[in-house]
Amino acid sequence: MVLLQFPAGFLWGTATSAYQIEGAWNEDGKGESIWDRFAHTSGKIADGSNGDVACDHYHLWREDVDYMAQLGVNAYRFSISWPRIFPAGTGRLNQKGLDFYRRLVAALRERGITPMATLYHWDLPQALQDKGGWGNRDTAGWFAEYAAFLFQRLGGEIPLWITHNEPFVAAFLGHATGEDAPGLRRPRLAVQVVHHLLLSHGLAVRAFRQIAPASAKIGIALFLWPQEPATDRPRDMAAARRMDGLVNRQFLDPLFKGRYPEDLWRTYRTRFLAPKVASGDLETTAEPVDFLGVNYYTRMIHRASLLDPLLGAREVKPPAKRTLMGWEVYPQGLYNMLVRLKREYTDLPLYVTENGAAFADVAGPDGTVEDVDRLEYLRLHLGQAYRAIADGVDLRGYFVWSLLDNFEWAHGYTKPFGLLRVDFATQKRYFKASARWFAEVARKNAVEV
Ligand code: FCB
């Protein structure tokens, strides 16, 4: 056994998002979001469920903060529901919604837990979807206004802010594959949505610099999964490189280099998919941030394939240990991604803003779960995070997805990711073995491997 000691001040946290845990979908003046609408549409969610109640965190938040204190974590990443603050997206404030987050943040701080707030984790006000959603350039401006309002009201109390969670997923699963809200299948629109999401990010960062105290920091959390070739044949390598353009560089380049990847844009242009970009937009998307959030779960492997009309790539899934999501357990990819970010993009501080695993948990008679698979998944990934730090990556924190079993989007409640098990019939929470283990990690600021 070796004890890997993490740097002093390292943040150990858990992550959640509003729609996945809060419930109270129409209480205290909250407006409808695109996820409310989508989950209420029959056939969209695997188990026919929705987030109407979810973990009932809107009512049980005090208890949940107590659980975090018991876990001994020193950070918590959550998201703010835009339609809870502005039910119609713009205009009238819902004071009760703001009060909810203000109380949550105060309770966290009282317990020495650093809040990290995400402004957009996919729950756009339905009223704005009715005006074209993220396909409408105005939505970028409305997002910046919503963000600026929160910087004014909570900027002094929340030291770490994230504009967007995984714009890749919001754009493509929401607007190209239709798996997520708003459930559209319009590839050209999806590409335009990418641009508007990135634009809204830059506008929000600009507002942040004018409003928030200098001690507060802002960044973005990206879906960053390595896209690897099935073989070292040039055509497979080229296919993987194209996928990397779509999944990773499409976001990293405009954020850190102020341009879109040339290869991807050539493809978009020849397929008439290139979005409208106004002059100055790419200066906005590249507005300097303070940190980058990395959401890492697995890698994807591709072969060249003529069957895929857009990028000529087909995903393959060789035998491997996989989670309940079908995702390969591939800890090495976390190290590779962190080191790549430093080499190719930025020396800024990084946070692992999400990492975790769904497994088929079996509750014992006392309600707890001996989730050895999840514990092992986390342990292996932390080993790789440590390696990256040892190799010079400025990694400042690690957030487990997730604090609680919750509503896993189109999978409903069928994919438990929590450190804490939730019995949805009683809303009781139980520490899993991984939670007890993670508490030790946080206490020692070290991981035993
Ligand atoms: C990420 C999402 C998060 C959760 C995990 C499993 O893509 O950001 O909300 O669904 O995957």
Output the CA 210–ligand 1 centroid distance in Å: 31
Would you state the structure tokens that stand for residue 157, as one six-digit string? 């109390």
pLDDT of residue 233: 98
Atom of ligand 1 nearest to the CA of 221: 8
One digit per residue, pLDDT tens: the chain, 449 residues?
A: 899 999 999 999 999 999 999 999 999 999 999 999 999 999 999 999 999 999 999 999 999 999 999 999 999 999 999 999 999 999 999 999 999 999 999 999 999 999 999 999 999 999 999 999 999 999 999 999 999 999 999 999 999 999 999 999 999 999 999 999 999 999 999 999 999 999 999 999 999 999 999 999 999 999 999 999 999 999 999 999 999 999 999 999 999 999 999 999 999 999 999 999 999 999 999 999 999 999 999 999 999 999 998 999 999 999 999 999 999 999 999 999 999 999 999 999 999 999 999 999 999 999 999 999 999 999 999 999 999 999 999 999 999 999 999 999 999 999 999 999 999 999 999 999 999 999 999 999 999 99
Is any ligand 1 atom within 6 A of the Cβ of residue 406? no
Ligand 1 pocket test: pick from 16, 222, 408 the residue with the most ligand atoms within 8 Å of its Cβ.
408
Q: How far apart are CA 248 and CA 225, in angstroms?
A: 7
Question: Is 165 close to ligand 1, i.e. is its CB under 6 Å away?
Answer: yes
C-alpha 297 to ligand 1 mean position (Å): 9
| d(C-alpha 148, C-alpha 408), whole Å | 29
Closest C-alpha to ligand 1, atom 9: 17
Distance 257 CA to ligand 1 centre (A): 26
Q: Given the CA of residue 356, which atom of ligand 1 is nearest to it?
A: 6
Active site residue ranges: 166, 354
Q: Residue ranges of the domains in the chain?
A: 3-448
Q: Is the CB of 248 under 6 A from ligand 1?
A: no
- Is the C-beta atom of 417 inside 6 A of ligand 1? yes
Q: Which amino acid is at 276?
A: K
Residue 430 has which token pair? 């139980």
The helix/strand/coil state of 392 is coil
How many A from CA of 422 to the centre of ligand 1?
17
User: Exposed, middle or buried by CB within 10 Å (0-12, 13-18, 19+), for 232?
Assistant: exposed
Ligand 1 pocket member 405 (CB < 6 A): no
| Binding site membership of 17 for ligand 1 (Cβ less than 6 Å) | yes
Closest ligand 1 atom to 325 CA? 6
Task: Tell me what pLDDT residue 176 has.
Answer: 98
Are 377 and 387 in contact, with CB atoms under 8 Å apart?
Answer: no
Tell me the CB-side half-sphere exposure of residue 149, using CA atoms within 13 A. 19
Residues ≥6 apart with Cβ < 8 Å to 239: 229, 302, 303, 304, 305, 311, 312, 313, 314
Q: Is 295 in the pocket of ligand 1 (CB under 6 A)?
A: yes
pLDDT given for residue 274 in this prediction: 97
Q: Which atom of ligand 1 is nearest to the CA of 409?
A: 10
Distance 167 CA to ligand 1 centre (A): 12
Report whether residue 408 contacts ligand 1, using a CB cutoff of 6 Å: yes
Ligand 1 within 6 A of CB of 401:
yes
Asked if 86 contacts 92 with a C-beta cutoff of 8 angstroms, the reply is yes
Give residue 98's pLDDT: 99
Q: What is the pLDDT of residue 18?
A: 99
User: Which has the closest alpha carbon to 204: 275, 245, 143?
Assistant: 143
The number of beta carbons lying within 10 Å of the beta carbon of residue 243 is 26
User: Of the residues 19, 295, 407, which should be mutated to test ligand 1's pocket, given the most ligand atoms within 8 Å of the CB?
Assistant: 295
CA of 187 to the centre of ligand 1 (A): 22
User: Which alpha helices (H) appear in 183-261, and where do they start and end?
Assistant: 187-211, 234-244, 250-256
Q: Ligand 1, residues 166, 179, 224: which to mutate, most atoms within 8 A of Cβ?
A: 166
Task: Note whether 338 and 394 are within 8 A (CB).
Answer: no
Question: Ligand 1 pocket check: which of 164, 401, 406, 419 to mutate, most ligand atoms within 8 Å of Cβ?
Answer: 401
Architecture of domain 3-448: Alpha-Beta Barrel (3.20)
Does the beta carbon of 14 sit less than 6 angstroms from any atom of ligand 1?
no
pTM for the model stands at: 0.98
354 lines ligand 1 (CB under 6 A): yes
Helix (H, G, I), strand (E, B) or coil at 146: helix
